[in-house]
Chains A and B, each alone.
Chain A
Amino acid sequence: MWTEQEILMILQGLWETVIIVFVSTFFGYILGLPLGVLLAVTDSEGIKPHPMLYKVLDVVTNVLRSVPFIILLVVLIPLTRAIVGKSYGTAATIVPLVIAAAPFIARMVESSIKEVDHGVIEAAQSMGAGTMTIVTKVLVAEARTSLLVGVTIAFGTILGYSAMAGAVGGGGLGSIAIRYGYNRWQPHILWPSVIILVLLVQLFQILGMKISKNLDRRRT
């Protein structure tokens, strides 16, 4: 019922989606992880309170988060062009995805880190640990399970966004679903694309939770 060409196209789309989501999640964390740590650390309850810096980061994060992704996509076209040279295709999709995901990732990181028991932080301080040591060896290390759950959530969200990016000429399965499924009404392309997208989210959900659970030493 599918031509070889169509199968290849869907596989190609799947591959692009995987690349887009992985690369976007990766760069999302490159920006979001430090931002989230900074938010948690400079908060009034954090280990290095800094009300001014916190306020600025807090506002920037909130503003970015409240812009609907589809608007961000359009607004960021000049930036995308400046970075990857064009405003459509796989690479071009990644830029707005990273910008959209980073603040959302930062919030998740912030809340994961704030879950770390304050007593443990205090113990580290009593041993003379500096801020950087506490960040890396206590905050991030102790929050790792929660951080990994965050990664799987980020992954699913970015996958969803990537499908949306397909609407404005991004690559991947989302774009195929829209071009063939919506624009030309070809259900035999639409549905496999959608089902693969859903399965992909499920797969990463299960995988992420499993890894996170395996890494958790808090239970016996």
Chain B
Amino acid sequence: MGEAIIRLENVSKTFSSGQGNVEAVRNINLEIEKGDIFGIIGLSGAGKSTLVRCLNLLERPTEGRVFIGGKDITVMKPKELSILRRDIGMIFQHFNLLMQRTVLDNVTFPLEIAGESKKEARKKAVKFLETVGLAEKKEAYPAQLSGGQKQRVAIARVLASDPRILLCDEATSALDPQTTKSILELIKDINRNYGITVVIITHEMSVVQEICNKVAVLDHGNLIEKGTVEELFRSPKTEEAKKLVFSETAHIRHMHSSRQIRVVFDGKSAFEPIIGNITLELKTPVNILYANTQTINGNAEGEMILQLPDNKEIADKMVDYFKEKNLGAEEVNYVD
């Protein structure tokens, strides 16, 4: 157990308006350890943005306490909070760059806020633009950049204030898969090289699998599951979590009306013989609808969707067989 750099105690946030109250976040308890890349996953409207904004008090919780590095930030004075915020970088879905400033001057912005001289700030900024691979664009304006490049500028801007924590609110949701991958790589590098703790907000399981080591599932403002990414990927417990984990294969399962089973295996388990064995034992062929391998935390994790035979007896036997082999088998008949 490392030390908790972020700790939430009974954090709730209720928005009140003329139309009534919205409980965006309900009674959350959470610890994020130093060096973690912590994912918070949930469907749209689950309260993810609200929760992450409670971590730097862009949103003030209506109840509960938020500890950063052991200090309760909900009782800090504005000045203290301003200084603390320099320690917590944030990147956004829509990048939020200053459109009237050059790339370089966007990166110097947090340094200006901290009171550094323009000259010193520029020198540093160039260095961070090199880190994100955009030094040659320093005189360009954000409007002249692609989405991925804009996010790189935003990351350089965060690095400029030398933070301990990086919050990412749907930071790759506006990007194509290729660019998403490269931005996630960059975030991983930053986590490794600078020792920055990262909190990733996303609605995509693939993002969590790609980069996070721990994950929490948020649903209607409630934290319904938390653990390692492997645990969630192998055996999501709640219906809501299953929906998120299985969402990547939804289109495949949609096309087939028969019973289906999802089997998860790691790179070490000899999977081929199992499929072979079951075919021999039950004298029924198995139809593979989908198979994929992903790297989660450096381990290969495979996922298969199998179509079960129409014969109920054989199908049940098959399910039992996979469950026995501890392959995280789960029937995934489409429930959406």
Contact = CB atoms under 8 A, between A and B. Distances in A.
B269 interface: no
A125 B58 contact: yes
A48 to B, nearest CB: 11
B143 A133 contact: no
Contacts of A218: 99-100, 141, 143
Contacts of A125: 58, 85
A142 B96 CA distance: 12
Contact of A128 (B102, B113, B141, B144): B113
B47 to A, nearest CB: 17
Interface string B131-164: 0000000000111100000000010010001000
B181 interface: no
A138 interface: yes
Contacts of B90: 123, 126
A84 interface: no
B84 interface: yes
Given A137-B109, A217-B143, A218-B143, A128 B84 contact: yes
Give the secondary structure class of A's interface.
helix
B85 A217 contact: no
A126 B85 contact: yes
Contacts of B142: 217
A127 B143 contact: no
B110 A127 contact: yes
Interface in B71-117: 78, 81-86, 88-90, 92, 94, 96-102, 109-110, 112-114
B56 interface: yes
Interface in A111-139: 117, 119-120, 122-130, 133, 137-138
Contacts of A219: 143
B223 to A, nearest CB: 23
Nearest to A142: B100
A119 B112 contact: no
A220 interface: yes
Contact of B56 (A120, A126, A129, A138): A126
Interface in A92-125: 117, 119-120, 122-125
B164 to A, nearest CB: 13
B144 A220 contact: yes
Contacts of B88: 126
A117 B56 CA distance: 20
Contact of A122 (B58, B81, B100, B109): B58
14 contacts: A119-B92, A120-B97, A124-B109, A125-B85, A128-B81, A128-B84, A128-B110, A128-B161, A130-B82, A137-B112, A138-B98, A144-B100, A217-B101, A220-B141
Interface of B: 56, 58, 78, 81-86, 88-90, 92, 94, 96-102, 109-110, 112-114, 141-144, 154, 157, 161, 167
Q: Which 3 A-B pairs have the closest CB atoms?
A: A128-B85, A123-B96, A119-B96
